[in-house]
Amino acid sequence: MRRFWLGVAAYILPTFPIAYAWHLVAFAPLYRELAIYRDDLIFPFGFAAMLIQGAAFSWVYPRVFPDRGHAVLGNGLIYGFGLAALSWSFTTLAVAAKNVMTSVPTYLMLETGFTLVQFVVVGPLIALAHRR
């Protein structure tokens, strides 16, 4: 159970600051130009989403890598890229398909970059949390 909760923390603790810095600081002007997000963000919804995602991703990791031993970086990057592909499909492609925005290519570029950064960091941290 300890590894599970460490895995959840390994997802939430870096994801929140990365997402905040990416969306609300570094690329805030571009996201404003996209006119896709509400002005009054509901942070508890975002945190709840991260908690659910972190729980799911932490629960799945030892099932994908049952013989994980001490391999952290390799397994973590493989897992991170798998999660990135899954996440990208519903947080980038699906959003671009159904939301109104001023530039789909700009949105795809921004969110693809964010997803890659997020999961290059998070994948190995989840692997570290679950190492034996």
| Cα–Cα distance for residue pair 28/59, rounded to 1 Å | 33
- The whole-model pTM stands at 0.93
CA angle, residues 73, 79, 85, in degrees to nearest 5: 135
Q: How far apart are CA 15 and CA 119, in angstroms?
A: 9
Smallest CA-to-CA distance from 8 within 48, 66, 68 is with 48
pLDDT band at 72 (very low <50, low <70, confident <90, very high): confident
pLDDT at 50: 96
Half-sphere exposure of 88 (CA within 13 A, CB side): 19
Q: Could you report how far apart the first and last alpha carbons of the chain are, in Å?
A: 13
pLDDT for the residue 110: 98
Tell me the Ramachandran region of residue 105: left when phi exceeds 0, alpha when psi lies from -120 to 50, beta otherwise: alpha
pLDDT band per the 50, 70, 90 thresholds, residue 114: very high
Question: What 3-state class would DSSP assign to 40?
Answer: coil
Per-residue confidence (pLDDT) for residue 7, from 0 to 100: 98
Count of other CB atoms within 10 angstroms of residue 16? 14
Residue 37 has pLDDT above 80, yes or no: yes
Q: Which of 29-33, 64-68, 78-82 has the lowest mean pLDDT?
A: 64-68
Amino acid identity, position 80: G
